Structure 1
Amino acid sequence: MRRYLAVGLDCYFCIITAGLLARPYVNVSTTVTEVLGLLTGPALAFSFLNQVALTAVAGAGLGKLIMGIRVIRLPDAGRPGLWRLVRRWLYGLSLLPLQPWYGLRSFLARAGTGPDAPHPGTLPNGCTGEPYTDPSGLRQVRRSDLAAHRDAMAFPH
């Protein structure tokens, strides 16, 4: 639930920022397509700054920082590199919106044909559509869990 709230906060901040930046250029005669065009640039720029730049510097985007979540590199729980973050951001823009479709397709296949239903497939990048899969080898964890992991690694038993 915490992850979904973080994503919701990120979306909220993105929409608010894009709206505030585009507001001076919108007037009564502006069409819907022009408004969408004005919103697209600032939304993509804020999304990149939040998901890539801020995560590279602070370990998480704005919504994740508020919710106490960190983005780590697997398997060593280190800080993610810039190129992994860029790949994760591009993945989020292109394939992540399709996850509800893959989840629904999987649910319908299981519900429709019983326990021996064929696996509905995977996403084009090899992920199964599970909420924690990430093709760039990154994972989202609670800040407290990360601190406990680092403490445990510092003092092996």
Structure 2
Amino acid sequence: MRRFGAILLDGLLALIAGYVALNSADHAGLPALQTFYAVAGAAFGLSFLNHVLLTRIAGASLGKFAVRTRVVREADASRPRLPRLFRRWLGGYLFLVVWIIAACFDMEDDPEDFCGVRLVRYQDLQALIPAYGR
């Protein structure tokens, strides 16, 4: 359920950014195509900043912070680099529906991540740090 909560919060943030862009474009009187570009740019831009840049800097997106989880590399529990996070962000749009269905029907507790990145509870990561000396 933590994964679903993080997805919900992160998605809501992107929708809010799109809504704010839509209102701004309406007040500016932009044509429909430019309004679409503004809404898509705001929503995907905030999503990119949240899922790629913030996760690289802080280890989690805003939604993941809220549910107290972190994103780590599967191989060594270190913080993933930008190319891996970027691939995960793009792939997340493709696999989002599958992850939601799996979470809703308890089909799999922790779906495999195709980029070698895992979502872990913050308290488990804190217990692991002394063992690795980080």
Scaled by the length of structure 1, what TM-score is found?
0.70
Could you tell me which runs of 5 or more consecutive residues in structure 2 were left unpaired when the two chains were aligned: none
Change (3 A) 1:139 1:8: same
Q: 1:100 to 1:56 in 2, by over 3 A?
A: closer
Give the structure with the higher percent helix. Answer: 2
User: Higher relative contact order at CA 8 Å, sep ≥6: structure 1 or structure 2?
Assistant: 2
Q: Distance in 2 between matches of 1:10 and 1:136?
A: 19
Gaps of 5+ in 1: 108-128
Q: Aligned pairs, how many?
A: 128
Matched, 1:138 2:126: no
4+ residue runs over 2 A deviation: 29-38, 100-103, 129-132, 151-154
Alignment partner of 1:11 is 2:31: no
Q: What is the CA distance between 1:75 and its match in structure 2?
A: 1.6
* Contact 2:73–2:79 (8 Å) recurs in 1: yes
| Identity fraction in percent | 38
Pair 1:6–1:33, CA change in 2 (3 A): same
Q: Quick one: structure 1 residues 6 and 97, their matched pair in 2 at CA, closer, same or farther if it must change by over 3 Å?
A: closer
Root-mean-square deviation over aligned CA pairs: 2.8
Asked if 1:99 corresponds to 2:116, the answer is: no
Q: CA deviation at 1:147?
A: 0.7
Aligned to 1:110: none
